[in-house]
Every structure is written in structure tokens, then in C-alpha cells.
């Protein structure tokens, strides 16, 4: 009997792991990736919380596991239909892909920080996103636009998360610990730098997170101030003047930093509204059941894995990607 083809839409860590697991279950997966290579957001990252292990190690492991699996890149799927015991995916260029089932592993988009105009991203040269800071870590050089090393850095949490004004009411889950990790790495990359995190709540929920939060304060001297920055302005020497209320002491404060890092949240990508699947209030795909059907969609033959259903850690994503293969095996066997 010929192996049944399963479409895996998205070649990030969820898609790579799902494809590997599907092959182990006896299927013939096809990864369809919208960008020019697989690896997704993780491939753009330097090191990972909470152990500061290199992100590349995860990518290398998943690449090895998915070696030889057929894949298509530079192909963005814009519609997905399920009928007659199969699914059909159509790309923006009109290419059609058919399979017995499909795993939607389309992940997330980073929030566009320009929408929070008050922080001046895209306007002020020393306001950057957490993703851009990660790129600096990868390049081995953290510097202001002028080339100088920053002496004071502010990290602002919840940019595009828990924010009704920009239609992003959900928590992006991983930013708190990312802010802690990046604060530590800043102190390692730039000796003597003073790092201040501005947060509304610190949600250090995972194994090792609270310990990292404590370490950042005790060993790395990172400061945490509870309060949202209300406004950033650029000074004449291209530094960033911040206005913020310290909500623990109930006082407004102003400070000037050399660099402002915006911890951008996860937002639902455009495909969430074009695949015809049910979505949640946060815009991400809705699982069939939030307890026992987390990797199934409401449409038979269409499955979900990873951050397609909302913000998740890499570990959670990998677990879902393994589970979705098992689920497909069971459903198709029936």
C-alpha cells in the first residue's frame, strides 16, 4: 500500500517535528514553507530560555530528524479545503497540493511594533525589537546605531500583548522569560551595562524561569520596575527619553537610556482568517477541544500543531508536533 501523503503547512519547529513524527508513523509528509528555508522563528534566534542553549542546536536536531522529507519552500498557502477524505491546499501562486490530511503548523507573526507609535519604533534609531536584539547577539555585537556600546538599556515587556488598544488582548506567554534572558545576555555581552525591565506582571511560569528571574537580579544586577512606558522620545544625542509610572511606588519617573528594546508579542498570521477554520478570540486557530482535542481542528482531516493555536514555548510546540502525528495515525486508522 502506498504511503498516505500528509501536508504539513509551515516549516518551523512544529512543522519539522510533525513531519519527522509523521514519517515515523508511516506517512509521507510534505512540508510547505512560505519562506525560503525551514526553521521558522527559532532559526532567527541566538540562545533559548531558560538554559541559554543555542537555538541552532534545536534546528540541527530537527533538521536531522526530518532529513529526506520532501519539502517546498517560498510557497505560501492561502486556502485549505477538506472534502471526500482528503485535503487540498492552494498557494498564492495557484499551486495545488493534495493529501489525506493536513497539519497546520503556521506559527505566529511577530507584532509590528510600529503600531505602538508612542514607543517610536521605526522612527528612533535606538528603539529595537527583541528579535533585532537577538540578531545582534547572533552577530556578536550589541551596539547603538552610532556603533557605540550602550551603557543603559531598557527592555519593555508586553509590546503587542495584553493590549486592547491594538487588538491583542492575549498574553504572548514567552516574552517575560525572554526579557529576563535577554537582560542577562546584555550584561554578558556589554560589561557594565545597566539593564532595566519595565513590566506589568512577570509571569515566570515554567521550570527554571523563576530561578532565572532571581539570578538576573542577584548575579547580573538587572533592575525590574513595574510600570508601562507611556512614551518614548528621542533626545538630541539620539538617546531615548522614557516616561513611565512606577506603579509599585505610585510615582511617575523619567529616565534616559541608550537603547530601548521592545519585547514584541505573538500575533495570529493572516492565514488564520483565510483557511476557513474556526479561530479563537485572539485570532489564532481554535482546537477542536481545549482539553482533549488540542491538535485537532473543527474540520475532519485538518490538524493543528504549535503556535498555530496560540503562543507556546518550543517544548510545548514539539510535544504537540509529536502528538499530532499520533492523532492522525489513530484517526485515519479508524
Partner 1 sequence: MKYRYANWQEYSKYIADDHYYYARSCIRQNFFPGSEKAFLDILRNDLGMDITEDPRHTTCTGIGYHSDVVPLETTMAIVARQFALMTECGYENYVASCITSFGIYSEVLDMWHHFPELEAKARENLFKATGREFHKPKILVHTSDLMFHVREKIAEKGVRRLVNAATGEPLKVVDHIGCHYAKVFPKKGIGGAEFPYVLAGMVEAWGGQSVDYPERRHCCGFGFRNYLVQANRGYSIANSKKKFESMAPYQPDFIVSNCPGCAMFLDRWQFTLNAMTGSNYAIPSLTYEEMAGLVMGIDPWDLGLQMHQVPVEPLLDKLGVQYDPAAKYLGKNGKFIGQPVAPAIYNPAAL
From residue 13, give the alpha-carbon distance in Å to each of 1, 45, 46, 79, 271. 30, 12, 15, 22, 18
The distance from CA 162 to its chain's CA centroid, rounded to whole angstroms, is: 15
Where in 121-140 is the site for partner 1 (CB under 8 A)?
123
219 binds partner 1 (CB under 8 A): no
- Closest distance of CB 260 from partner 1, Å: 13
- Closest distance of CB 146 from partner 1, Å: 17
Size of the site for partner 1 (CB under 8 A): 11
245 binds partner 1 (CB under 8 A): no
| Peptide bond preceding 50 in cis form (omega within 30 of 0) | yes
234 binds partner 1 (CB under 8 A): yes
238 binds partner 1 (CB under 8 A): no
Angle at 197 between CA 192 and CA 201, to 5 degrees: 155
253 binds partner 1 (CB under 8 A): no
Residue closer to partner 1 by CB (options 233, 300) is 233
CA–CA distance, 307 with 285 (Å, rounded to integer): 9
Residue choice 241, 279, 280, 319 for contact with partner 1 (CB under 8 A): 241
3-class DSSP assignment, residue 257: strand
278 binds partner 1 (CB under 8 A): no
250 binds partner 1 (CB under 8 A): no
CA–CA distance, 330 with 55 (Å, rounded to integer): 32
Residue choice 117, 148, 201, 289 for contact with partner 1 (CB under 8 A): 117
274 binds partner 1 (CB under 8 A): no
Angle at 135 between CA 131 and CA 138, to 5 degrees: 140
**Is 29:69 a contact under the CB 8 Å cutoff?**
yes
236 binds partner 1 (CB under 8 A): yes
231 binds partner 1 (CB under 8 A): yes
From residue 76, give the alpha-carbon distance in Å to each of 9, 38, 270. 9, 13, 11
53 binds partner 1 (CB under 8 A): no
Residue closer to partner 1 by CB (options 210, 234) is 234
Q: Cβ contacts of residue 26 below 8 Å, gap of 6+?
A: 3, 329
Residues of the shown chain interacting with partner 1 in the complex, contacts defined by CB under 8 A: 114, 117-118, 120, 123, 231, 233-236, 241
Amino acid at each position: 500500500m502506498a504511503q498516505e501523503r500528509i501536508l504539513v503547512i509551515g516549516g518551523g519547529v512544529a512543522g519539522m517535528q510533525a513531519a519527522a513524527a509523521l514519517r515515523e508513523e508511516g506517512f509521507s509528509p510534505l512540508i510547505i514553507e512560505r519562506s525560503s528555508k525551514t526553521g521558522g522563528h527559532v532559526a532567527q534566534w541566538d540562545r533559548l530560555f531558560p538554559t541559554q542553549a543555542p537555538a541552532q542546536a534545536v534546528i540541527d536536531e530537527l533538521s536531522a530528524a526530518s532529513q529526506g522529507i520532501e519539502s517546498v519552500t517560498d510557497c505560501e498557502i492561502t486556502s485549505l479545503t477538506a472534502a471526500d477524505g482528503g485535503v487540498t491546499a492552494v498557494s498564492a501562486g495557484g499551486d495545488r497540493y493534495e493529501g489525506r490530511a493536513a497539519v497546520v503548523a503556521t506559527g505566529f507573526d511577530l507584532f509590528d511594533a510600529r503600531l505602538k507609535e508612542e514607543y517610536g519604533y521605526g522612527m528612533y534609531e535606538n528603539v529595537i525589537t527583541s528579535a533585532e536584539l537577538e540578531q545582534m547577539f547572533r552577530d556578536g555585537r550589541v551596539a547603538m546605531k552610532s556603533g557605540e556600546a550602550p551603557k543603559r538599556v531598557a527592555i519593555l515587556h508586553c509590546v503587542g500583548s495584553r493590549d486592547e488598544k491594538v487588538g491583542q488582548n492575549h498574553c504572548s506567554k514567552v516574552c517575560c522569560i525572554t526579557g529576563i534572558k535577554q537582560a542577562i545576555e546584555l550584561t554578558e555581552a556589554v560589561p557594565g551595562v545597566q539593564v532595566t525591565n519595565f513590566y506589568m506582571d512577570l509571569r515566570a511560569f515554567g521550570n527554571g524561569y523563576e530561578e532565572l528571574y532571581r539570578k538576573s537580579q542577584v548575579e547580573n544586577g538587572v533592575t525590574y520596575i513595574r510600570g508601562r512606558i507611556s512614551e518614548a522620545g528621542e533626545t538630541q544625542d539620539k538617546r531615548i527619553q522614557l516616561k513611565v509610572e512606577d506603579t509599585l511606588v505610585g510615582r511617575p519617573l523619567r529616565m534616559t537610556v541608550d537603547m530601548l528594546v521592545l519585547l514584541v508579542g505573538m500575533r495570529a498570521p493572516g492565514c488564520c482568517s483565510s483557511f476557513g477554520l474556526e479561530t479563537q478570540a485572539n485570532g489564532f486557530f481554535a482546537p477542536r477541544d481545549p482539553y482533549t482535542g488540542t491538535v485537532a481542528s473543527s474540520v475532519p482531516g485538518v490538524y493543528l500543531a504549535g503556535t498555530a493555536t496560540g503562543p507556546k514555548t518550543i517544548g510545548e510546540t514539539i510535544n504537540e508536533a509529536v502528538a499530532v502525528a499520533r492523532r492522525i495515525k489513530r484517526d485515519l486508522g479508524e
